[in-house]
């Protein structure tokens, strides 16, 4: 069993205490991971604070060049990282539609290089005989990053690279369910960064709470549940930390009757089920016009019955649900839907044997008040609801405390775009769903988060504005 250590101030650091990392396909211990104490956290924060002045003083182009080198290092170790990701997260190497572990590691490369090339130029808003007024973007200081278990390395890249590019230093805590790939990544890139610029500590939710309370951390960036996001907001008040929170989504899609069902069903299925449905912006509530409802259900069932779910090391389409608690939630939500009279078209029962395996499941004729519709399942299960009036569908889609993403599907893109603009969400898609890219801002409305990630808008989240007024009189 490999030995994993934290990175603090450029040094590998062990801990007297450890915790097990479970392979979700076998329920066996894959590795022991160091459990950080608050003293370890204090050391990491102190190292990041000490490294901040020199790192923030470097020209932006130099920081960008180092981030490009980080991207190259990831590419050199790509195969190793893919295997490790499958071991701890469960996703297959290739997977359904090529969106498995290799897809995630490929995404880290894309976002690394995109972040490296971002710029925050000085904006001149006045330059006349009276004065020159400039708007500068200044780094915040120490950024605390808390990452989830569904895309452990790619989301770490989303957090860390803009923070570094804008001149901040970082202390990162990965999910206790999936810390291994992140620790190995930190080890791979350790020699590319000055000591203290990037630190990784590992532990459970108590460590994350200590980070959000820490007086010397200036910003928290967090991807995870809305409930945890609310706690972070409360804790951040200790020093008015800046926050970027990308929280839970329960994305709705509206399918209008003018679509070609055979053409769009594979896209609907893929955007609902990729990463085994364990994606914040996955399609999770499907509203289909009554004229094509049964045809759409039949098409989705055919797709569900054509895929395989098994140990990710055998490279099936889908692997297990990542952890026991999430598996139990998916099972419970399915059982409650069945008890309420919903029609299960395929799947709906956990698979036999060890591992947290749940088959791809399509559920029809389900009431909007059922828990499977009201809450985010975060698993391979999709409820399909019927509508007759598009205004009613829009009302039902918006009747949620979540507002991460949403989509409209139609043979008339202009009509669909007009309807999509009325969805109460951070990103509205037309004839697709959950498509993101490094230069387009992404974030939630309502209880799905605060702030945005990606591109210039995301980079600005890691800075304060400083207005410089130069008098000429």
CA 24/CA 233 separation, integer angstroms:
31
Residue with the two structure tokens 């934290």:
6
Gap between the Cα atoms of 112 and 71, Å rounded: 6
Backbone angles phi, psi at 467, to 5 degrees: -90, 125
Which tokens in the block code for residue 294?
Answer: 């049964």
User: DSSP assignment, residue 275?
Assistant: G
To the query of whether residue 246 is one of the catalytic residues in this protein, the response is yes
Which secondary structure element, helix H or strand E, spans residue 102, and what is its range?
Answer: helix 101-116
CB 411 within 8 A of CB 263: no
Q: What CA–CA distances, in Å, run from 97 to 74, 218, 273, 305, 459? A: 23, 40, 10, 15, 31
Q: Please, which residues have CB within 8 angstroms of residue 152's CB and are 6 or more apart in sequence?
A: 85, 88, 89, 174, 175, 178, 179, 181, 182
- Tell the residue number behind the tokens 């801002």, with chain if given: 441
Neighbours of 97 (CB within 10 A): 16
Instruction: Catalytic residue, from 33, 280, 297, 331: name it.
Output: 280
Specify whether 176 is catalytic.
no
Q: Do 449 and 426 meet the contact criterion of CB atoms below 8 Å apart?
A: yes
In Å, what is the CA distance from 199 to each residue of 59, 294, 446? 21, 52, 32
Q: In terms of DSSP bridges, do strands 242-246 and 449-450 run parallel, antiparallel, or are they unpaired? A: antiparallel
Which of 246, 376, 453, 461 is catalytic? The answer is 246
200: part of which helix (H) or strand (E)? strand 198-200
Contact 453, 244 (CB under 8 A): yes
Catalytic residues: 246, 280
């Amino acid at each position: 069993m490999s030995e994993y250590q934290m990175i603090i101030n450029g040094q590998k650091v062990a801990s007297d205490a450890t915790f097990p990392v479970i392979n979700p396909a076998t329920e066996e211990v894959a590795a022991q991971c160091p459990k950080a104490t608050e003293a370890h956290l204090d050391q990491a924060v102190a190292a990041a604070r000490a490294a901040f002045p020199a790192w923030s003083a470097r020209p932006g182009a130099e920081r960008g060049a180092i981030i490009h080198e980080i991207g190259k290092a990831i590419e050199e170790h790509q195969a190793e990282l893919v295997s490790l990701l499958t071991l701890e997260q469960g996703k297959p190497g290739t997977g359904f539609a090529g969106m498995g572990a290799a897809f995630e590691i490929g995404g880290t490369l894309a976002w690394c290089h995109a972040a490296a090339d971002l710029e925050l130029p000085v904006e001149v808003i006045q330059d006349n005989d009276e004065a020159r007024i400039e708007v500068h973007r200044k780094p915040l200081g120490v950024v605390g990053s808390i990452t989830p278990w569904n895309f452990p390395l790619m989301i770490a890249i989303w957090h860390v690279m803009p923070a570094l590019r804008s001149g901040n230093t970082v202390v990162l805590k990965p999910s206790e369910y999936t810390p291994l790939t992140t620790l190995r990544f930190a080890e791979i890139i350790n020699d590319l960064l000055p000591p203290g610029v990037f630190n990784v500590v590992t532990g459970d939710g108590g460590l994350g709470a200590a980070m959000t309370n820490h007086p010397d951390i200036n910003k928290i960036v967090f991807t995870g549940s809305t409930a945890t996001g609310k706690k972070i907001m409360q804790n951040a008040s200790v020093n008015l930390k800046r926050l970027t929170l990308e929280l839970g989504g329960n994305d709705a899609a509206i399918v209008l009757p003018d679509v070609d069902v055979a053409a769009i069903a594979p896209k609907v299925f893929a955007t609902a089920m990729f990463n085994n449905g364990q994606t914040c912006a996955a399609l999770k509530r499907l509203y289909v016009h009554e004229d094509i409802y049964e045809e759409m259900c039949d098409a989705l069932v055919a797709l569900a019955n054509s895929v395989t779910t098994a140990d990710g090391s055998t490279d099936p389409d889908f692997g297990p649900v990542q952890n026991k608690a999430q598996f139990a939630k998916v099972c419970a939500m399915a059982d409650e839907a069945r008890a309420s009279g919903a029609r299960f078209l395929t799947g709906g029962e956990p698979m036999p044997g060890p591992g947290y395996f749940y088959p791809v499941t399509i559920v029809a004729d389900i009431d909007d008040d059922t828990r499977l519709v009201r809450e985010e399942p975060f698993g391979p299960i999709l409820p399909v609801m019927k509508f007759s009036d598009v205004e009613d569908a829009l009302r039902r889609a918006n009747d949620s405390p979540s507002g991460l993403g949403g989509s409209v599907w139609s043979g008339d893109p202009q009509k669909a775009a007009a309807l999509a603009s009325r969805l109460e969400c951070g990103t509205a898609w037309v004839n697709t769903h959950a498509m993101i890219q490094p230069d387009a801002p992404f974030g939630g409305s309502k209880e799905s988060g605060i702030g945005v990630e990606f591109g210039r808008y995301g980079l600005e989240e890691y800075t304060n504005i400083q207005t410089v007024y130069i008098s000429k009189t």
